[in-house]
Amino acid sequence: MAISYAKLNNGTWGIRAQGVQVSAGDQVMVLTKAGVAKPERVAKIVWSAADGSVMLAAIEPKTTGTTGPKAYKPNPSQFAGHEADATEFETYSQKNAARVNAAFASCGCVAYTSVFTVNRWDAQGYRVAPGQAPVQVQTMRPKFDDPADKQKVTGWVWTLTPLFCSHQVVKAVKG
């Protein structure tokens, strides 16, 4: 079960989905060779194996330029205009993504796209509504012997990270 970038016969970049069924309009997380997960939207299926185990798909082009957004932002109707760094990730965990996607299957929210930590929601101008229960995922955070020296990691600590979906947050009111 992996989705990666692939060069298509027409010379454009698309995705290769192995062990995952995708269709036009689906938003997927693509894992780069560097281990960075990037959101992409499937434009159309270019090729599919007879048994459906492998698919090649074209992706929607990203908008670029100095006046518009730098890249496609997840769920643009709800989160348009917010800082891109609050929705971009340096790492990707298939195990955590599967757990989050299963937990939020009834509302359709997707890991790394419409499910974030409290801090990431705050950065996007939202706050968690009172009484909302998070989904907990296991993550690792760096351990520092000297809290002032954040460059020298001395180990790693397992921790539970609470995540909330877009249906559990409200627009923050300034005041």
DSSP-assigned letters across all residues of 88-144: --S---HHHHHHHHHHTTTTT--BTTTEE-HHHHHHTTEEEPTTPPPEEEEEEEEE-
| 142 shares a domain with 87 | yes
Residues 159 and 84 placed together within one structural domain of the fold: yes
The Cβ-side half-sphere exposure at 147, using a 13 Å CA radius, reads 0
Is residue 105 located within the same domain as residue 152? yes
pLDDT at 68 over 70: no
How many C-beta atoms lie closer than 10 Å to residue 13's C-beta?
A: 13
Closest CA to 164 of 107, 112, 95, 118: 118
User: Both 45 and 105 in a single domain?
Assistant: no
Compute the average pLDDT of residues 121-143: 87
Q: Tens digit of pLDDT for each residue in 80-96?
A: 444 454 556 667 778 88
How many domains, in total, are found in the chain?
A: 2
Statement to judge: residues 54 and 103 lie in one domain? no
Is there a single domain that holds both residue 81 and residue 144?
yes
Residue type, 71: A
Beta strand pairing status for 54-59 and 13-18? Answer: antiparallel
Q: Do residue 98 and residue 158 come from a single domain?
A: yes
Among 42, 61, 80, residue at a domain's last position: 61
Closest CA to 168 of 138, 136, 137, 130: 130
Give the pTM. 0.48
**100 and 42 within one domain:** no
Among residues 22, 42, 61, which one ends one of the domains?
61
* 160 shares a domain with 99: yes
Q: Considering the chain, what is the average pLDDT of its residues?
A: 79
Q: Which residue has the higher pLDDT, 70 or 42?
A: 42
- Using DSSP, state whether 53 is helix, strand or coil: coil
Domain that holds residue 105: 70-175
Do both 76 and 129 map to the same domain?
A: yes
End-of-domain residue from the set 41, 61, 81:
61
50 plus 87 within the same structural domain: no
Q: Are residues 54 and 76 in the same domain?
A: no
